[in-house]
Every structure is written in C-alpha cells, then in structure tokens.
Structure 1
C-alpha cells in the first residue's frame, strides 16, 4: 500500500533536491518566503510556551516541527479561500493572515480571541475533534453554488480519522464534488495514542479510496512538497474535479499541550534526535546554503523584525481590560437558558 501511496518528497533531510522534475518549483524567492514564515512561526511558538510558563496565558498548544506543513499549505491558498483550523494550526492561520493579537487573546482565554477573523475567511479553531470537516465541506459547497472559484482547506490530526465527522465530511464532499482539501497532519500520536493503535491501515492517504477521491501522501517536513501538493489539490477543486485527501507525515517535537508530559508515552530522546532529519527549518536552511540563497544579514534582519512584531502583539494583548467573570455565562447562548441564568445568579450571590 505504501508503494501505491508513495511519500512525495522534493527536498531531502540533507537539503538536496531529490525530485528533479520539480526543480523549477524551487526558487530563491520561494525559499526566502518559506523560511521567513517558518522562522516567524517557530519564534511565535517559543514565545507562546514561555508566556504559558510565566502564567501570562492559559494552556498553550505547541506545533514545533509541523511548521513546514502549515506554512506550505497556507501559502497555497488564495485570498478568498476558506481555512478551517484545529487548535494546533494557529501557525497556518497566522501565515494566511490572521491577526496575531487576536490569536494571543485566544490562548489567554478571552472571548475576543474566538471571534472569526476579519482579515481572511478563517473559522475559529476547532477543539472538538473532526467537527470542522463537515463545516469545511459546507463552505466549499456554498462557494460552488455561488459559482465562485474559491476553495477550502480543513486541517485535522491522525486521531480525527477515527471520528464519524471525518467520514461524513469527506463522503458528502465526494458526492457533491466540493472544492475542499482535507489536510491531515499525521504527527504519529493522537495525544498519547500512537498511530498503530489508532488504525490498522498502513496510511491515512489510502482512506481516500473509500470515497472515490485522490489520496496523496507527502513529507510534511518538506515545505516545497507540501506547497506543491496542496496547490495542485486546490486547483483540482477549483476546476470542479472535487476534493482531495492529503496526508502530511510530520512530527511534533514537544508535548501535545503545555498540560501534557510526552515522556510518559514516547521516547523523548528519540524525538530530540529526529530534529536533525525532520526539522523543516533546518532542512530549508540546508537547501538555501547548498544553493547559494542563504544570507546571514537577511536572516538577522527578519529575526529582529519577527521578534519585534511578536513583542508588540504581546503588549497589545496584555493591555486589554481584564475580562469579566460573567463572560463565561453571557456567550454560551444567544438567549441565556434558565440554567445559565441560575448559575450566574449563584455566582453573584457567592461574591
């Protein structure tokens, strides 16, 4: 089955171009664009973890190691396309154009952080597993009915493939030939459950056969391969040829969340050793140095620019007025139910 769904790779772990037929896809302009965004996400992710440890935001979900998959896919979208992220895809949303301050507010538990993006068609992050897949299908079908060429991409992990929403979302998209890309980031674990205990099939890509749609398996740490695969899948949807399932094989270097201890269920020494081979930032750096694209002065300048942007966003996030306790009751339903009203009254009485 793995031969039927080979792993698409354009740049290997040494930075060498191994798929000569795609060599024209690798330009200095693209390499620099990808590097900037991956470095930006890596810096933001480190800041997010630091803020959580300092008690300045709540539980944070790191994505370190998956930046290549998120940057490569997000940059394949057009401005009016739709993005449906999970809680681990804030890197993709930031790359697509989401507001950084709003994202920090989300991790700070603020209602303002869960307001849909004004900048782009980005849905709020989905924490319930796989519920965003039918939503993406619906948005793609709506664009189809309106006669536009807009498409949708929906992100999900390997654990989501065990949910009914996975089947429902892909099946309906297949039936109606909706222009949606189902983008799976297979990082090997659904929290602590390894992929081999999640499913008996050899790949996630092969599940596409059940729905009569293309299934593609790509090296998720190769930003060029991801970008090409997603771009082609989106164009396929725009032409009216229906959805595509993409399995991006990647790895998360850290914990599932800052409330998790990965050493309880996986060998962290092995994970640390995998950085050299599976770090999308290191791989891209090697490619750029090998092809005369790397410029130390440029890297220093963008690092300074990125750090300034993030620090300014943190200052703005922390300048927001302290949230009201009543927010937890006021935004559950449009009209509060008697149970919510009673709980709110009980809180008032206890203060």
Structure 2
C-alpha cells in the first residue's frame, strides 16, 4: 500500500513555464498568447496589486467592510480568469473578487459588496457569477450543480470555482468534486494553496503530499501548478476548459501561491504563524516581478507603461469609491424586502413597522 501511495504522489509534479528569473523553462507548454495578451495580463496584475493596496487603506479608514487581501495571488487568480470565456460561470470565494471584476463586475459594486450593501450583489445581467462565498468550501457543491446544469442545457461553457487549502478539509470539497466527476460535469475546481489557510499550516491539515492528488479519489484529472507563474496557470486552465467542454469531465487544479498580507483585515496577524525568512523566500517568487522580467527581455514592457497603469488604477479606484459613497444607504426595509419573494406574516408586520420608522 505504501508503494501504491508513493506511486500516486510521484506523478503530481509542479507544472511551471516561467521561472523566478522570468525565463521560459517549458517551451513546449508555452501558451499561444499574443504580445498584446501578455501585456494585458501584466496590466491586470499591476492594476490588481494597486487595488489591493488601496482596498487595505480604505478598510483601515473605515470606508470598506470585510476585505481579504490578494497580493501575491494575482497570477493564480488572473491567469485562470484570463483563460475563461464570457459564457463561463464563476463561483468565487471571498478572496476572489478580482476575478469577478475582470469578468465584468463594476468596481464600485465590488466596494459595495465589501460594505454588505445589497446592490453589491446585483450583478449585471450578462455576467454569469454568484456572489463570493463566505462559507468555506460551500462553493464546491454549488459549482458541481451549476456545471451539471450547463451540461444538461448543452452549453459549451464551464463552471469555475475557487477555495484555499483550508477548504480541502471541508466535506463540501470532496462532495463537490465527487459529484462533478460522477456526472462528468464541466467544472474546474481551483485550490489556491497559500500554505496556511487562516493560520494552520497545510501539513497539519492533511497527510497528503499534494492537494492535487485528492482528485484521484474522485476519479477526475488533477494537476499541481506553480501559482506564481501566470503563464502556467493560464495554460493549465485553458487545458482544463477544453477538456470540460469536450465532455471529458472536471479538473482539480492546485496552485502553489502565497498571500503576502493577512488572511483578512479582521484582526489576523500573520507574524504569529509565519516567519520573516518564509515571507522573504516567497517575495522572490512575486508573480508581477517574474512576468515583468520576461516582458522587459522581450521589449514589451517598461517602467513608463507600468506607471501609467498604476495611475489609471488609482484614478479609477478613486472614482469607484466615490460612486459607492453616492449610493443610497441600505435600510432595514431594503433587507426585509430583498430576503423573500413573498414575505411571511411576521416579516410583513416588521416591514410596516420599519417603513414607519424610516419615514420620520
């Protein structure tokens, strides 16, 4: 039995295309991306890093509510989203707001979501997505159901969902991948392994050497990817999407990544469970630095271009938070009216009570 396990684990080697020095180390797997595509990926990652910095500042000022930092995970998040099509369906976790934004969610609504305002969850009609899931792992079972619905409707699309390494310790994780595998549903399940969940090291969560190998038990394809390598994440996602829409079933993708900030801004202190040496080691793998080196070597990127993106991001964030501030304040009656299609008697009574209070 030991030899069987070792044989399985040995097959899950980390897939990489672009190394830490910005060099292509896997030419045969280099995705078919134009120079403009490569620059757009860089632009989105730089923009998202600035968005993260400004969101942290806005949170500290009391102008945002719940916020989970994203710095360090841009390649995993945006490389995967870049491989999707508009008809695909996103089921994000709470750290995955950047994917929603690049899939079509207006920035001001992302800010309203953070504040708990109902309009932050009223996505554009043409956007296929659910609101970020707060319950750990619940989006996996939802994604399996959405993927089955896509299949039954005969659509050439996929359901894509994300969780962290901690999510793989939840029952919903296995139930989701097992259901999708049993019905060969077109789903892509991401595990963004940043090694600590909220604070528990991944080696204390599981005896498995990789999280990708958990796909074996569900009978689906799995791959471990360098999550700081945007080209590898894109290529793996593109492959998984093609398999799914061709009826070959779901894929589990583990991206090895790192969040530079705390788990959330709600009081987590990563210095209590992570060392400076570890932080420094992962900063050398920064996905933005890595792609920047690659593009500069190809004369496709410059400091001037990057500064333009930074200024654009700052300006658009400023305008978005202003628009969020201008939205009507959420009321108790809003909450009651949005809770049910048809109100039960007790809430009808409360609705009238609060309407009277709010009219004064």
**Deviations 1:269-292 (Å, cap 9, x if unpaired)?**
235313432211111111112232
| 2:204 counterpart of 1:236 | no
| 2:149 counterpart of 1:113 | no
The one of 155, 158, 162 aligned to 1:155: 162
Change (3 A) 1:209 1:24: closer
Residue equivalent to 1:183: 190
State whether residues 26 and 224 of structure 1, in contact with CA within 8 Å, keep that contact through their aligned partners in structure 2: no
State whether residues 93 and 163 of structure 2, in contact with CA within 8 Å, keep that contact through their aligned partners in structure 1: yes
Residue equivalent to 1:299: 306
Change (3 A) 1:118 1:47: farther
User: How far is 1:347 from its partner?
Assistant: 8.0
State whether residues 11 and 224 of structure 1, in contact with CA within 8 Å, keep that contact through their aligned partners in structure 2: yes
Change (3 A) 1:306 1:350: closer
User: How far is 1:143 from its partner?
Assistant: 1.6
User: How far is 1:344 from its partner?
Assistant: 7.1
- For the residue of structure 2 that corresponds to 1:331, the secondary structure is helix
User: How far is 1:135 from its partner?
Assistant: 1.5
State whether residues 333 and 355 of structure 2, in contact with CA within 8 Å, keep that contact through their aligned partners in structure 1: no
Residue equivalent to 2:63: 56
Residue equivalent to 1:201: 208
Change (3 A) 1:256 1:78: same
- For the residue of structure 2 that corresponds to 1:193, the secondary structure is coil
- How far, CA to CA, are the matches of 2:108 and 2:148 in structure 1? 31
Residue equivalent to 2:25: 18
User: How far is 1:327 from its partner?
Assistant: 3.7
Change (3 A) 1:295 1:346: same
- For the residue of structure 2 that corresponds to 1:122, the secondary structure is coil
The one of 286, 306, 321 aligned to 1:279: 286
User: How far is 1:202 from its partner?
Assistant: 0.8
Residue equivalent to 1:258: 265
Ranges in structure 2 where 5+ consecutive residues have no aligned partner? 1-7
The one of 284, 288, 291 aligned to 2:295: 288
**Deviations 1:207-255 (Å, cap 9, x if unpaired)?**
1111111110000110000000001000000000000110011011110
Residue equivalent to 1:8: 15
- For the residue of structure 2 that corresponds to 1:274, the secondary structure is helix
Task: Normalising by structure 2, report the TM-score.
Answer: 0.90
| 2:100 counterpart of 1:88 | no
Change (3 A) 1:263 1:85: closer
State whether residues 174 and 213 of structure 1, in contact with CA within 8 Å, keep that contact through their aligned partners in structure 2: yes
- How far, CA to CA, are the matches of 1:298 and 1:16 in structure 2? 21
| 2:108 counterpart of 1:101 | yes
| 2:347 counterpart of 1:309 | no
Residue equivalent to 2:51: 44
State whether residues 5 and 205 of structure 1, in contact with CA within 8 Å, keep that contact through their aligned partners in structure 2: yes
- How far, CA to CA, are the matches of 1:343 and 1:98 in structure 2? 33
Task: Normalising by structure 1, report the TM-score.
Answer: 0.93
- For the residue of structure 2 that corresponds to 1:270, the secondary structure is helix
Residue equivalent to 1:331: 338
| 2:142 counterpart of 1:135 | yes
Q: Aligned residue pairs: how many?
A: 351
Q: RMSD between aligned alpha carbons?
A: 2.3
Change (3 A) 1:118 1:48: farther
- How far, CA to CA, are the matches of 2:338 and 2:9 in structure 1? 47
- For the residue of structure 2 that corresponds to 1:182, the secondary structure is strand
The one of 75, 78, 83 aligned to 1:71: 78
State whether residues 63 and 88 of structure 1, in contact with CA within 8 Å, keep that contact through their aligned partners in structure 2: yes
Which stretch of the first structure deviates more once superposed, 46-55 or 26-35?
26-35
**Deviations 1:27-72 (Å, cap 9, x if unpaired)?**
5323211101101111111111111101111121111110110110
